């Protein structure tokens, strides 16, 4: 144990110095080294190696003690080191405690390292503002899900028996996570506060909403479509209910697979909400007052007070929501919103997370549950333990997951091809670039880079802010 701890500490220092020499930046090197070690901790927790995990974490805590600058981090390091030492000397009695505290819980620290890198390097914030915002909110979501929710739930599942100092240290660590969660919640609220009531006017069938409630007077944080052709309320249930059945039907020994299913479910729900409540890229129409042709189609939009042709922004009219959307791909009834320039990334991310979940169900749940059913059928208590509802539920869930896998997989392959060519679904159907080169195609790598990291500002948001300042003046 002693030599493994010293080896982990030496490896961290060697990695830190190597990255510092390569990047000539100690701050970024510290974040990269910490992120790599946290990824190692998560991997050791997934493969269930509590002894190696505890020794590696001890070495990292000893090596990283020089960078501790606040009392909260000092308490966290000291209490964690004490719990790890107790776990190592208890001969396996606290292995579950080690995996919970040091394995899955460190997944949020990886995102924290990335967020700290953006925070300490303003140039990165200006270059990739959308990625910076996404990482910050992803860290907050992961922290509350793992450090607050998962640790609190584990406190009720895992029996915290042992000496009084161990129990006090554990509860102190939990209270520290609650305090940090409160601080993170305040920062998130303060970051959203300057944009409160930012959308002030309805656009077509899109209405300003705040906390899913329509605001008719002062505006809201989001601009959401309010239409009848909307299956969004059903989609979360289509994700949560099968995932709950998946966890119930799996054998208790497959805990890692259950955690992976829960992670895929959380990612699917987060991307679904982001795709739904992100303004898709609405552009205000420049309508000419012509009494002879009152129903003439809109050919220009207003951007910065100038008339811009629709083709310059690859904009199309969405008849479902009665708005013009920049780079309109299609209207998706599952998210209840057009898929445009500003929410297309979240839509594809939702498809990826949903595909991972369905693949996990088909690849693991089916064989594992079938083996379990076979063992129960051959046992002498098969009549009591295997019931028809269990068999019917297993068959229905397997068919549902396979259907979701085929549907989501085909949809994701289609979207991946469009992103690779920098083409929209409407442009492909109408064969816009047939017989001529696509001027927006910059190569597969550059297309994906722009799709994932290039931020698209909201034109209607800027227009509402200008009108709000004019009204205040």
**Domain end among 193, 209, 236:** 193
- Taking 90 as the threshold, does the pLDDT of residue 415 lie above it? yes
Q: Which residues, at least 6 apart from 114, have a Cβ–Cβ distance to it below 8 Å?
A: 31, 35, 135, 139
Tokens representing 390 are 């269990």
Tell me the C-alpha to C-alpha distance, in Å, between residue 358 and each of 148, 239, 332, 370: 27, 10, 20, 17
For residue 96, pLDDT over 70 is answered with: no
Distance (Å, whole) CA 339 – CA 326: 9
Does residue 472 have a pLDDT over 50? yes
Bridge partners of 208, per DSSP, are 223
Q: Please, what is the average pLDDT of the chain? A: 76
Q: Does 70 share its domain with 124?
A: yes
Residues 6+ apart with CB under 8 A from 174: 151, 152, 155
Q: Is 204 inside any structural domain?
A: no
Residue ending a domain, among 169, 193, 217, is: 193
Q: Is residue 154 situated within a structural domain?
A: yes
Q: Is residue 388 in a domain?
A: yes
Q: Are 167 and 235 members of one domain?
A: no
* pTM for this entry: 0.67
Closest CA to 468 of 275, 217, 242: 217
Higher pLDDT, 1 or 466: 466
- Statement to judge: residues 179 and 234 lie in one domain: no
Say what percent of the chain tops pLDDT 70.
70
Contact criterion met (CB below 8 Å) for 433 and 427: yes
Same domain flag for 117 and 257: no
What would the pLDDT profile of 137-164 be if each residue is shown by its tens digit?
Answer: 788 877 877 777 777 666 655 555 556 6
Q: Which domain holds residue 363?
A: 228-280+342-472
97 and 246 inside one domain: no
User: Could you tell me which residues come within 8 angstroms of residue 353 by beta carbon, excluding any fewer than 6 positions away?
Assistant: 264, 267, 268, 271
Q: Which DSSP helix (H) or strand (E) runs through 125? A: helix 122-127
Using pLDDT thresholds of 50, 70 and 90, give the confidence band for residue 274.
Answer: confident
Residue 405 shares a structural domain with residue 256: yes
156 shares a domain with 251: no
Q: Above pLDDT 90, what percent of the chain?
A: 8
Domain co-membership, 57 together with 141: yes
Looking at the fold, whether 178 and 249 belong to one and the same domain comes out as no
Note the pLDDT of residue 119.
82
Query: What's the gap between Cα 433 and its chain centre?
Result: 34
Residue 374 and residue 251 in one domain = yes
* pLDDT (tens digit per residue) in 359-395: 877 776 666 566 656 665 665 554 445 556 666 667 7
Q: Per-residue pLDDT tens for 97-113?
A: 667 677 767 778 888 88
Number of domains forming the structure of the chain: 2
Among 136, 171, 193, which residue terminates a domain? 193
What pLDDT, on a 0 to 100 scale, did the predictor assign at position 95? 63
In 3D space, the residue among 327, 322, 316 whose CA is nearest the CA of residue 227 turns out to be: 322
User: Does one domain contain both 86 and 183?
Assistant: yes
Q: What is the pLDDT of residue 110?
A: 82
pLDDT tens column, 214-263: 444 445 678 888 887 788 888 888 888 887 777 776 655 556 666 677 77
Domain assignment of residue 318, yes or no: no
Same domain, 129 and 263: no
């Amino acid at each position: 144990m002693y030599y493994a701890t010293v080896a982990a500490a030496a490896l961290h220092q060697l990695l830190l110095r190597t990255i510092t020499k390569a990047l000539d930046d100690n701050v970024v090197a510290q974040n990269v080294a910490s992120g790599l070690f946290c990824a190692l901790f998560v991997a050791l927790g997934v493969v269930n190696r509590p002894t190696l995990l505890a020794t590696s974490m001890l070495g990292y805590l000893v090596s990283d003690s020089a960078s501790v600058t606040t009392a909260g981090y000092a308490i966290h390091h000291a209490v964690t080191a004490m719990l790890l030492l107790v776990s190592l000397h208890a001969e396996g009695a606290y292995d579950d405690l080690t995996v919970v505290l040091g394995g899955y819980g460190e997944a949020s620290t990886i995102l924290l390292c990335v967020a700290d890198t953006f925070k300490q390097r303003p140039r990165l914030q200006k270059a990739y503002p959308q990625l910076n915002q996404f990482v910050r909110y992803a860290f907050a979501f992961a922290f509350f899900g793992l450090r607050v929710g998962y640790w609190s739930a584990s406190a009720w599942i895992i029996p915290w028996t042992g000496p009084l100092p161990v129990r006090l240290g554990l509860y102190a660590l939990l209270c520290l996570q609650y305090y940090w969660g409160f601080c993170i919640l305040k920062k998130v609220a303060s970051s959203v506060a300057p944009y409160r009531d930012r959308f002030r006017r309805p656009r077509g069938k899109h209405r300003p909403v705040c906390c899913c409630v329509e605001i008719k007077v002062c505006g809201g944080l989001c601009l959401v479509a309010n239409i009848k052709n909307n299956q969004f309320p059903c989609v979360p249930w289509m994700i949560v209910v099968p995932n709950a059945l998946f966890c119930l039907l799996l054998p208790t020994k497959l805990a890692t697979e259950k955690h992976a299913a829960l992670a895929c479910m959380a990612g699917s729900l987060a991307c679904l909400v982001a795709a739904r409540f992100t303004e898709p890229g609405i552009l205000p129409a420049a309508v000419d007052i012509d009494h002879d042709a009152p129903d003439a189609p809109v050919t220009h939009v207003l951007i910065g007070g100038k008339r811009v042709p629709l083709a310059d922004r690859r904009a199309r009219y969405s008849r479902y929501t009665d708005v013009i959307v920049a780079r309109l791909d299609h209207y998706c009834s599952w998210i209840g919103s057009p898929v445009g320039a500003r929410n297309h990334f979240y839509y594809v991310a939702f498809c990826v997370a949903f595909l991972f979940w369905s693949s996990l169900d088909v690849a693991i749940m089916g064989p594992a549950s079938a083996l379990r059913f076979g063992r129960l059928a051959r046992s002498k208590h098969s009549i009591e333990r295997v019931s028809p509802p269990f068999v019917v539920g297993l068959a229905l869930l397997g068919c549902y997951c396979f259907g979701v896998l085929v549907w989501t997989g085909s949809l994701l392959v289609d979207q991946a091809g469009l992103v690779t060519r920098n083409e929209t679904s409407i442009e492909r159907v109408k064969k816009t670039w047939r017989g001529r080169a696509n001027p927006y195609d910059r190569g597969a790598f550059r297309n994906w880079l722009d799709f994932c990291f290039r931020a698209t500002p909201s034109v209607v948001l800027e227009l509402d802010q200008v009108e709000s300042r004019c009204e205040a003046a």
